[in-house]
Structure 1
Amino acid sequence: MAQVQVLTLPGWQGSGPGHWQTLWEQRHGAQRVEQHDWMRPLRGDWSARLQEVVVDAPGPVVLAAHSLGCVLVAWWAAHSRLAHKVRGALLVAPGDVERADLAAQISGWVPIARQPLPFPAVVAASRDDPYCTWQRSEQLAQDWGARLVDLGDCGHANADSQLGDWPAGWALLTPFLKD
């Protein structure tokens, strides 16, 4: 049986060199789902790209998403016939694109898919995330049927949060990697 592949799904503007996703790619061999345009994200394009990568994966995958990548996972899972290939997902700091200020910057991502995910998932959220309130993160986790993990006060859980390669985050992902 093919080894489980960890796919990273960055959010709007991608994940730079100090981001935990980039560090996981370097340290753990995770594969980034590269998008055509990180600055002007189109839900259909991003979803089609995720579909291509999952189709090409030789075996099961685990998704490690951040921000808009979390919203992408929920949308893709609600529409793809390949969701059975996903062993689990770590959804970190989901971006609330239904908020007026974010919807104005990132158009075409409303509504957020709210169906329960067809695979196990963990939503890891910060209590002081500027892009999603704690209460909204709680609601998204509930809607998606995901376990919610409280990251405390660490902003948007990105490079600015100084998580480094975030071993505690990798530990949330590892149960999905086991046979």
Structure 2
Amino acid sequence: MRFLAVPGRGVPLPGHWQREWAARPGWAWAPEPPGPPVVFAERVAALQAAVAASLEPVVLVAHSAGCVTVATWALAHGPGPVRAALLVTPPFLREEPVPMAPLPFRSLVVASSDDPYCTPEGAAAYARAWGAERFDAGAVGHLDAKTGFGPWPEGERLVAALATG
């Protein structure tokens, strides 16, 4: 099993859980974290290249706008070797259409009750549209380094469950 970390809009700060996980054996960025501005077509193409690089089963772990990258990629390319996706705090985006169709693999949306970029109702709407399970992480902001998430043991358990389930 391999794991692809799909970043949000910018480069995760030092200590960010996704940055730490992406440095582990069996993990890679897809795409490498960009600096603004984000061009979704380029991000989707980079994700496709990373997924297609091997037939080995893969779990996608997306944060923030990376969740939109995953949904856009899935609509264009289907499941391929993707077995599951962890979609952490997807944002509401005004400038980018977000696909609202079922994903062709098991997925879990992690929602925060006080995310400044998406309401709990918005996260629930994404989960319903994508056919995903929903995990309420509580009041954790955007679940990033700014809100205290370097290590995220609960997230590691969620990824492990997706990888084995």
For this structure pair, what is the TM-score category when the shorter chain's length is used for normalisation?
Answer: over 0.9
Equivalent of 1:25, from 15, 22, 25? Answer: 22
| Amino acid across the alignment from 1:13 | G
Code of the aligned partner of 1:113: P
Paired residues of 1:65 and 1:73 also in contact (CA < 8 A): yes
Amino acid at match of 1:88: A
**Counterpart residue number, 1:92:** 88
- Indicate whether 1:71 and 2:57 are aligned: no
The alignment's TM-score, normalised by the length of structure 1, stands at 0.86
RMSD: 1.6
The whole-number CA distance in structure 2 between the counterparts of 1:148 and 1:168 is: 14
Look up the match of 2:157: 171
Which residue identity is paired with 1:73? V
Partners of 1:28 and 1:20 lie apart in 2 by: 15
1:102-147 Cα offsets, whole Å, 9 max, x none, are x3xxxxx2x1001100000000010100011111000000100001
- 1:162 is displaced (CA, Å) by 1.2
The amino acid across from 2:51 in the alignment is V
Is contact 1:75-1:113 (8 Å) kept?
yes
How high is the TM-score relative to the length of structure 2?
Answer: 0.93
In the TM superposition, what are the counterparts of 1:13-162 in structure 2 within 5 Å?
A: 13-27=10-24, 29-35=26-32, 37-81=34-78, 83-98=79-94, 103=95, 109=96, 111-162=97-148
Which segment is superposed worse, 149-158 or 24-33?
24-33
Give the structure with higher Rg (CA).
1
Contact (CA 8 Å) 1:121, 1:145: kept in 2 or not? yes
- Indicate the residue corresponding to 2:3 in structure 1: 6
What is the deviation of 1:34? Answer: 3.0
- Structure 1 residue 173: deviation in Å? 1.1
Q: CA deviation at 1:53?
A: 0.5
Preserved contact between residue 5 and residue 57 of structure 1 (Cα < 8 Å): no
